Chain A
Amino acid sequence: MRLGSLENLRSQLVEVTLALVVGFVGGALALTAFGYNALENIQVMISYGFRDLGYLLLKSAPIVLTALAFLVPLKAGLFNIGGEGQLYAGAITALFLSKIGFYLAIPAGALAGLLVGVAIGLLRVVRGVNEVVSSIMFNWTLYYLSMFAIQRYLLDPVYTHQSIRVDRVLSLPEVVTIMLLSPLVVYLLLYNTELGYRIRVAGSSSRVARYAGVNLNIVTIQSMAIGGFLAGLGGAIQVYGVTTVVDTTLSSLYGLGFLGIGVALIARGNPLAVIPAAVLVSGLLIGSHWMELRGRVAPELADVVIGVIILALSAPYAYRVLASRMGWGVGGG
């Protein structure tokens, strides 16, 4: 560990805790504004969200992967907000190959995500297309293509509101293993390999990268490929480990990519911190569905809370000003 990193960790923990408080205050305000009992509903959300540990971990796994899918390109200075579409590509590809076999379907899903990531990277490198814009265009295109694929090729003959069911599924320990190992692998990749070094140098500044002899174009494509691979894997895991079917409106996939972005930001870009951050976010997600059952509140309250948390975290400078005014003495430029 580098010198001062412990101090750094402490100030980040305080920062995230403050942001969580702000997030829940934001959620409470939204509830009050729409005429709900804020305290009661948030209490349900929190107390029910974290009850079933197995379910909590299961739901966290795909979000861990989409968070890493955002995080790796972010280290290279790229905003991969295409995790959503890459996840669809992974899920649907894996579903298509369910008859061929489980061991092929999951890597194929990851590969499909990788291809989408590479496409976004190539468009940026070759044609200068901003990755944020192309990511969103891919997300929507893949959203409709996935619905088309389910409707036309993968529909269950009996339950026509969903796809066929996959035969073999991942067990809970298998899913949890993937969930715990992926951040570790990404951590080692970023901090202990030549590729990871080049990704981080590319993200620091383009001038530094040029001095260090790092080819930004290649790193762009490599980091987007890794990001796409992880999100695609997340989609395959969602199908084979969590839901086993995909409904025709894609509601079992929708939003997982965007939640990953939130998780990566709450984790402050640290691959290992993605695990607790994902557990937190999926707890809120599960809790919000309980809240809907109990209080008829839209579960999208979770989006509001997570959005406000991210908004609060987007301005570390504001926090530093606050800290110095209050005399907390947490350092940093």
Chain B
Amino acid sequence: MDSYDILLYLAFASITYMTPVLLASLGEIIAERSGVVNIGVEGILLASAFTATLVAIVTGNPLLGFASGALVGLLAGLIHGVLAVYLRADQIIAGLAFNMIAYGLTVMGLVSIWKHHGASPRIGVSLEEIDVAGYHVNPVSLASIALAILAWYTLTKTRVGLALRACGEDPRAAEAMGVDVNRYRVAATSIGGLLAGIGGAFLALEVVGQFTRGISAGRGFIALANVAFSGWNPLLAVPGAYIFGFLEALSVYLQQWALGYEYIARTLPYIGTLLVVTVFAWKAIAPRSLAKPYVKE
């Protein structure tokens, strides 16, 4: 392969690698726009990747794997939403706790079900890829880009989107508009969890091909970085996720060639993300009532 071929290969591989981060970012943008921050996305990726692996291996059907991952994400988002909204939990701390629980549960599951501390067996099934100009692209990757457009449209051009953003900016005004702030926030956080759950399923089924301990490897936090990078705009989350996807594709590629320096190659996505958020810190303004519980008077 000459360098042009390598670049083209990386450019397409990046689309696969970006997908879990994009889905998690879109979910988090929706949740944060309503006023709830969920740093438990890392744990949702883990839990849904685990469930999707288990279901896909047992049923032999990748779609059921995706469905189960989405369901786990939805439930996790719902729990976080209820904790944050009705029980007024500290959202950062609840998210950290959820990440610990998800890590613990998935490793317990690995040992209990497959008697292995590191990884599940190979899943063996995945979705049929689509041919684009001679390169294979995953249908879920394309759908997630379409979803970004849909999320942008819904947030900025529809009444529901306006109401949701009002909950995150000025909940009192939203209430005056006749919006049930708490219900909107729980719904947005649940949808956010659902999308992250699909991302987790994608990670296991389409990227790695099995569940491994700590499979999310910081992608939930990279999604959080991407949310800030995008300025809470779903459309800009696409190039943001693509940058990360490219870094990961490059990292995986370099790991095969830089013998003795594999660990250095592995730092690439994290250093790259750090650089991106540092260089592009354009002081995008977060939703004003982010992470603040709404207390009716």
Contacts and interface: CB of A to CB of B under 8 A. Distances in A.
Interface string B281-295: 101000000000000
Interface string A128-143: 1110111011111100
B178 to A, nearest CB: 26
B57 interface: no
Interface string A1-37: 0000000000000000000000000100010001110
Interface in A24-73: 26, 30, 34-36
A148 interface: yes
Interface in A275-333: 296-298, 300-308, 310-311, 313-315, 317-318, 321
B108 A140 contact: no
A34 B263 contact: no
B90 interface: yes
B94 A137 contact: no
A136 B221 contact: yes
A302 B107 CA distance: 11
B111 interface: yes
Interface residues of A, number: 51
A197 B93 CA distance: 24
B228 interface: yes
A30 B107 CA distance: 11
Interface residues of B, number: 47
B130 interface: no
A145 B194 CA distance: 34
Interface in A258-277: 258, 261-262, 265
Given A127-B278, A128-B283, A141-B271, A311 B101 contact: yes
Interface string A195-210: 0000000000000000
List of 4 A-B pairs having minimum Cβ-Cβ separation, nearest first: A303-B104, A307-B100, A307-B101, A304-B104
Interface of A: 26, 30, 34-36, 79, 81, 123, 127-130, 132-134, 136-141, 144-145, 147-148, 151-152, 258, 261-262, 265, 296-298, 300-308, 310-311, 313-315, 317-318, 321
Given A34-B108, A127-B278, 19 more contacts: A35-B112, A129-B274, A129-B281, A133-B221, A139-B218, A140-B218, A141-B267, A144-B266, A148-B261, A258-B100, A296-B111, A298-B107, A300-B104, A304-B104, A305-B104, A306-B100, A311-B98, A318-B87, A318-B88
Interface of B: 39, 83, 87-90, 92-94, 96-101, 103-105, 107-113, 117, 217-218, 221-222, 224-225, 228, 260-261, 263-264, 266-267, 270-271, 273-274, 277-278, 281, 283
